[in-house]
Amino acid sequence: MAEEKRSDTTQKGLRGTISNVSISQLLQMVCVGQSPLMIRALCEGKEGVFYIKDGQVLHAITDQKTGEDAFLEIALWDDVLFEIVPCVEDVPQTILKPWEYLALEAARIKDEYEKEKLIHVLIVDDSSFFARQLKRIIEEDPEFVVVGVANNGEEAIGYMEDEIVDVVTLDAFMPVMPGDTTLKHLMIRYSVPVVVVSAFLEGSTDILFDFMRLGAVDVCSKPQNRGEGLEQYGRTLRSILKKASKAKTDRFRRWKPESESSDEIFKFNEKYNKKLLIIVGAEGSHMDWFRLPLWDFLSVGYVVCFSSMDKEFIPALAELVSKYKGCNVKVFSGKEQENIALNRKVLNFLYARSRWKFDVSGAEEYKVLPDVVSQVDWREGVETAILDIVDLLHERLDIGILCLSGGDAFSDAWLDSMAERKVKWLLPPEDVLLFPDMVESVLKKFEHLNNDKCNVCIVRGEYTYLGSAWKEE
């Protein structure tokens, strides 16, 4: 609705200010009268001027442009305040085309610009039924547009040649070109973020690992039910895709299994039992777990791990970490009916989108209890759980937080609470992370401060260095 702030007709011609209208609406109103007018357009420090005579726009000017180019620039501005005054000065005619034509051209340009801001998704799935369902789920959010649906990998490569694609959803099991082969081509030729959306059967842990190793940014299961469950699934999937579209896939490095068996050379240092390291990994972090010097962390204290993966995939991730790194792993599913103690000599994996409570009544036993809230936002879940742990244990244990890749920044209030409790930070270089947002939020908050004043210790370096630093502190 147009908002007219002032109008004055005591002098010849229209005079006043107006907002909340488009340039087309405004010109339709003012050009009817045939009076010579000057319209000044003000928008966020920018200024432009139209000159109107005999019902047509005669001249336009901005700081950088004149004529039709200036008209189009002003027409693309949002939230413009227009000031209208009678015009008595002579100006050159720099606009020859009718203003109606230019307004239509501006609308076309603006529409193209809005489309460019959308997240362009390519769906690759051999099930036309599921692809239609997935397209509907994704486009429930107006920030997305599905630019194509490919039935197999070969079709997907064809789409990539012709379309702008920000993120790909990829089925693992397809004819013609299977999912893993498709992923290789997409990563090598286009370096586009890929989210695997597939039905992984029980016992397909190694298949899941192959997709992570080949560069999949994230993994999401296909929906199993309808109604309320499907709505939650849609919200989760869209959140994953939004973050995945921003992945710095050019930083991806394939991981090669270590040739040396850590089991034969590792010994727990029972002398050091007063440390707790919390490892946080979200989007793009799945292969980071295999690069960590986990035995160094375990040798000097407790290790608690938070992952943003789907709940059903965390046991598979834990199994793979145990298989390739030789560490024992405990996964807290949230279904336990009794208190389960954190284990001193294993990696303790907790699902970050569940709510957890902790019991530290025992002198040397720290127990985990599932709370009644089973599904919360990733950042809310991980910040709440870590704060609970730190509140209960920071006077008993030396606590550190190691950040892996993650697309969410920590909140300022939560970072302040960690500083107050003298939590140490272990941070890898940002340029090795597909999503550096978590690490950058810590650095932005603390790096410019004097460590003595804000009680913050930040250790930065490659993973092997972080392991040695934590072990030797």
Question: According to the model, what pLDDT value does residue 101 have?
Answer: 87
Question: According to the model, what pLDDT value does residue 264 have?
Answer: 42
pLDDT at 392 over 60: yes
Q: What is the pLDDT of residues 22-64, one digit of tens each?
A: 878 888 888 777 778 889 999 888 999 989 888 889 999 998 8
Lowest-confidence pick of 141-155, 322-336, 433-447: 322-336
Mean residue pLDDT of the chain comes to 82
pLDDT at 337 over 60: no
pLDDT at 292 over 60: yes
Backbone angles phi and psi of 9, in degrees to 5: -115, 15
Q: What is the rounded distance in angstroms from the CA atom of residue 302 to the CA atom of residue 298?
A: 6
| 357 CB-contact burial (10 Å; exposed 0-12 / middle 13-18 / buried 19+) | middle
Backbone angles phi and psi of 382, in degrees to 5: -70, -40
Q: What is the pLDDT of residues 69-78, one digit of tens each?
A: 999 888 888 8
Question: According to the model, what pLDDT value does residue 400 have?
Answer: 94
Question: According to the model, what pLDDT value does residue 414 have?
Answer: 94
* Closest alpha carbon to 357 in 365, 368, 366, 349: 368
Question: According to the model, what pLDDT value does residue 270 have?
Answer: 55
pTM given for the model? 0.73
461 Cβ partners below 8 Å, 6+ apart? 428, 429, 469
Lowest-confidence pick of 13-27, 31-45, 299-313: 13-27
pLDDT at 462 over 80: yes
Question: According to the model, what pLDDT value does residue 441 have?
Answer: 94
pLDDT at 354 over 70: no
Lowest-confidence pick of 87-96, 144-153, 172-181, 227-236: 227-236
Q: What is the pLDDT of residues 356-376, one digit of tens each?
A: 666 666 555 666 665 545 566
pLDDT at 90 over 70: yes
294 Cβ partners below 8 Å, 6+ apart? 303, 321, 325, 327, 347
pLDDT at 410 over 90: yes
Q: What is the pLDDT of residues 193-244, one digit of tens each?
A: 999 998 876 667 778 888 888 889 988 888 866 554 788 888 889 989 999 9
Alpha carbon dihedral 175, 179, 183, 186, in 10-degree steps, equals 30
Stretch 315-331: mean pLDDT: 86
Q: What is the pLDDT of residues 110-159, one digit of tens each?
A: 777 666 678 999 999 999 999 999 999 999 999 999 999 999 999 999 88
Q: What is the rounded distance in angstroms from the CA atom of residue 14 to the CA atom of residue 37?
A: 8
Stretch 248-268: mean pLDDT: 64
Q: How are beta strands 81-86 and 56-62 bridged, if at all?
A: unpaired
